[in-house]
Amino acid sequence: MGATHLPSTEFDGTAVDDQLEAEAEAAMGEPPAQMVQLLGPDGTLGTDPVYTHYAEKLDPEKLRGLFADMAAIRRFDVEATALQRQGQLALWVPLTGQEAAQIGSGRASQPQDYIFPTYREHGVALTRNVDLAELLRQFRGVSNGGWNPKDTNFHLYTLVLAAQTLHAVGYAMGIQRDQKSAAASDPVRTEPPAAVMAYFGDGASSEGDVHESMVFAASYNAPVVFFCQNNHWAISVPSTVQTRIPLSNRAKGYGFPGIRVDGNDVVAVHAVTEWALDHARQGKGPVLIEAFTYRVGAHTTADDPTKYRQSAEEDSWRAKDPLARLEKYLRAEGLADDAFFAKVKADGDELAAYVRRTTHDLETPDIRTAFANTYVEAHPLVAEELAWFEEYSAGFAGEETAGQAETEAGN
């Protein structure tokens, strides 16, 4: 039986990896883009002239912690997907395959840094101590957010594509001015400098907001790190349609560093992100990181990736699994044993049980709070709409009472 031909038109013959990028660079006479990798798919740790210095800070305990974080967020992702399939969530946005990009970058940040996520950064949320059960409030439709960003310096999820990049640059410019003002009024003040990190995907990179945010970041030397998770697919559009050259190369046009890193290598991601955040905090300006990774599952639970990509592509990326490569390294170096991995699995199951229990216990808020929270002060139009809603709801209550009376009379 021959290979199945996908019912596609615009993507027929389109390379879905970096083949077209390499061809475009060759045509322009550009050298191939270098990708930072320290921990290969076989679990072997290499070196890099710049980033090995940062990787060496990851002692065995921290490496085990990175693995535990990645395993926990993958287990959480599986549970959240199941909850959506069971009707407990309206929608879910999976992250499987992108654990290293998120955990590595999130763990490289410091408490004073501020994070602007998209809607898929569940792993980053874990590293910022956000209660993962709180993430599900928004996807269940019972909250506009779910957590207070002031508690963790992790902003609410942004559903409007790329809007968070503008927010991040504005916030970074605010940090810049606050720190300058504080230094002028109190030269001996010792508060640590802060930076901002903005997450977005390869699809969002085509939005004008990303371009505008990078223009402002470069113009004002803002302390912001742009973290692009190039997971190869913006829903059904491959990354090669978004760009013919590595996305990290776009930083050149704005005049700041751009780094492409193996997004499935948690050690390299952590090292590169730590360098970039240090660079930003020191007043040297923005950095663009392109984490070259892959979305193994669907874009959301409303998506069917079999309609636009082939299973062979997914299989090739599963061989680069970020958890498997770190496990190989930990076992080969004698840094973790069966007991450690068994505990990680048990902890993941416990987390899943907590999330499932908490989600089932969530109560639907009274819709009247939406009217009350529209304006600070009472508003006549809102009052009119609330009155209409009350009247409308009362009509249903009457029907229910009549139906109940008929049932009782029949008995």
In DSSP notation, 192-230 reads PP--EEEEEETTGGGSHHHHHHHHHHHHTT--EEEEEEE
199 tagged catalytic: no
- Please say whether the beta carbons of 113 and 196 come within 8 A: yes
295 tagged catalytic: yes
308 tagged catalytic: yes
Which among 197, 129, 116 has a CA at the least distance from the CA of 160? Answer: 116
Which among 274, 299, 380, 340 has a CA at the least distance from the CA of 61? Answer: 340
Which residues have C-beta within 8 Å of that of residue 262, sequence separation ≥ 6? 35, 36, 37, 268, 269, 291, 292
Torsional sign, CA 31, 34, 40, 41: negative
Q: How far is Cα 336 from Cα 344, in angstroms, rounded to an integer?
A: 11
Chain centroid offset of residue 7 CA: 30
Question: Which residue out of 120, 128, 295, 356 is catalytically annotated?
Answer: 295
- Please say whether the beta carbons of 118 and 204 come within 8 A: yes
Question: Which residue out of 308, 309, 325, 329 is catalytically annotated?
Answer: 308
The conformational region for residue 231 under phi > 0 = left, psi -120 to 50 = alpha, else beta, is alpha
Amino acid at 4: T
Please report, for residues 6, 89, 145, the alpha-carbon distance to residue 64 in angstroms, rounded to integers and kept in the order given. 41, 32, 31
**Which DSSP symbol is given to 256?**
S
- Please say whether the beta carbons of 35 and 298 come within 8 A: no
Question: Which residue out of 128, 270, 281, 299 is catalytically annotated?
Answer: 299
Residues labelled catalytic: 295, 299, 308
